[in-house]
């Protein structure tokens, strides 16, 4: 059964409110990607808008490459946000049939307004629930889910739905904050405090899925693990770079205590930012 009620995401609400007010260059970045970034060499990450924009693009490409996305395929991006990953694929590949899915119509409105097809690609943005996908069986070659699965009401239902809409031999590629064993122990004691801190900025987040649970889930739903890659170190500049850029433009909400929590948990090794890809078992 589908629950088509959008998750409350205070950070997204604030970004949407700020978009009309910020200068054009920052608006281009804010209205494209709303996920963390990937720096190949994080030790020399520049604290600039250009660095942040490139890191966003790199993360999208890393996840897509892990899922073996190539020209000529039909690709579904679940939780597509403002359509940045669809736009990234549109920029780099050709003859693609691209579909972005999101439960929040406001984000889809931004995605549609910013998208311009090129290289023989086609795209559509669909309002819907990732746990009750509004698509036919065996209708996609690849499925992506960038930094959104922790908002879904059920990872199991999502995997089952992806298995249904994927063609045999297809892949699912996602990125997620994966807890360490110690984090799972700590969470039993401090769950309400951690959840309230994270929720104040990012909404309801389920960070309880360990790598072992992902392996079990893949086996139970008919997927074979293809990639299990820890890219935490490459993402660590995200918070300080974003905070610097935002503060320079008068946007202070990224400096709030609630926004810092994922950064601190990552630096302490309590959560790992991972790219996970799975192969549809025929």
The domain that contains 83 carries what CATH number? 3.40.50.150
Residue 88 lies inside a defined structural domain of this protein: yes
User: What is the per-residue pLDDT across 157-178, written as a single tens digit (0 to 9) for each?
Assistant: 999 999 999 999 999 999 999 9
Residue 62 lies inside a defined structural domain of this protein: yes
Convert the chain into a string of H (helix), E (strand) and C (coil): CCCCCCCCCHHHHHHHHHCCCCCHHHHHHHCCCCCCCCCCCHHHCCCCHHHHHHHHHHHHHHHHHHCCCCCCCEEEEECCCCCHHHHHHHHHCCCCEEEEEECCHHHHHHHHHHCCCCCCCEEEEEECECCECCCCCCCEEEEEEECCHHHCCCHHHHHHHHHHHEEEEEEEEEEEEEECHHHHHHHHHHHHHHHHHHHHHHCCCCCCCCHHHHHHHHHHHCEEEEEEEECHHHHCCHHHHHHHHHHHCCCCHHHCHHHHHHHHHHHCCCEEEEEEEEEECC
Residue 105 lies inside a defined structural domain of this protein: yes
User: What is the per-residue pLDDT across 100-155, written as a single tens digit (0 to 9) for each?
Assistant: 999 999 999 999 999 999 999 999 999 999 999 999 999 999 999 999 999 999 99
Residue 4 lies inside a defined structural domain of this protein: no
Q: Structural domain of residue 158, as residue ranges?
A: 10-280
Residue 252 lies inside a defined structural domain of this protein: yes
Query: How many domains does the structure of the chain reveal?
Result: 1
Q: What is the mean pLDDT of the chain?
A: 92
Residue 34 lies inside a defined structural domain of this protein: yes
What's the confidence (pLDDT) of residue 255? 54
Please report which confidence band the pLDDT of residue 193 belongs to, taking 50, 70 and 90 as the band edges.
Answer: confident
Residue 39 lies inside a defined structural domain of this protein: yes
Residue 232 lies inside a defined structural domain of this protein: yes
Mean pLDDT score, 83-96: 98
What is the share, in percent, of the chain residues with pLDDT greater than 70? 94
């Amino acid at each position: 059964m589908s629950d088509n009620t959008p998750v409350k995401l205070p950070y997204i609400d604030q970004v949407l409110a700020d978009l009309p007010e910020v200068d054009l260059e920052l608006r281009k970045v804010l209205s494209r990607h709303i996920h963390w970034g990937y720096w190949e060499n994080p030790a020399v990450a520049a604290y600039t808008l250009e660095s942040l924009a490139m890191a966003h693009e790199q993360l999208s490409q890393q996840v897509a490459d892990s899922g073996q996305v190539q020209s000529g395929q039909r690709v579904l991006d679940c939780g597509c946000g403002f359509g940045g990953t669809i736009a990234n694929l549109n920029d780099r590949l050709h003859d693609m049939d691209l579909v972005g899915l999101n439960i929040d119509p406001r984000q889809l409105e931004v995605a549609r307004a910013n998208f311009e097809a090129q290289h023989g690609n086609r795209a559509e943005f669909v309002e819907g629930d990732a746990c009750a996908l509004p698509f036919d069986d065996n209708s996609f070659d690849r499925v992506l889910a960038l930094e959104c699965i922790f908002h879904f009401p059920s990872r199991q239902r999502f995997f089952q739905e992806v298995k249904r809409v994927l063609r045999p031999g297809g892949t699912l590629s996602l990125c997620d904050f994966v807890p360490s064993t110690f984090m799972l122990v700590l969470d039993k004691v401090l769950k309400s405090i951690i959840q309230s801190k994270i929720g104040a900025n990012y909404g309801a987040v389920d960070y309880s899925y360990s790598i072992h649970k992902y392996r079990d889930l893949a086996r139970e739903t008919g997927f074979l693990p293809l990639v299990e890659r820890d890219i935490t170190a490459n993402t660590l500049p995200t918070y300080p770079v974003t905070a610097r850029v935002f503060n320079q433009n008068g946007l202070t909400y990224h400096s709030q205590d609630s926004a810092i929590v994922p950064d601190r948990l990552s630096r302490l090794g309590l959560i790992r930012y991972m790219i996970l890809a799975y192969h549809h078992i025929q």
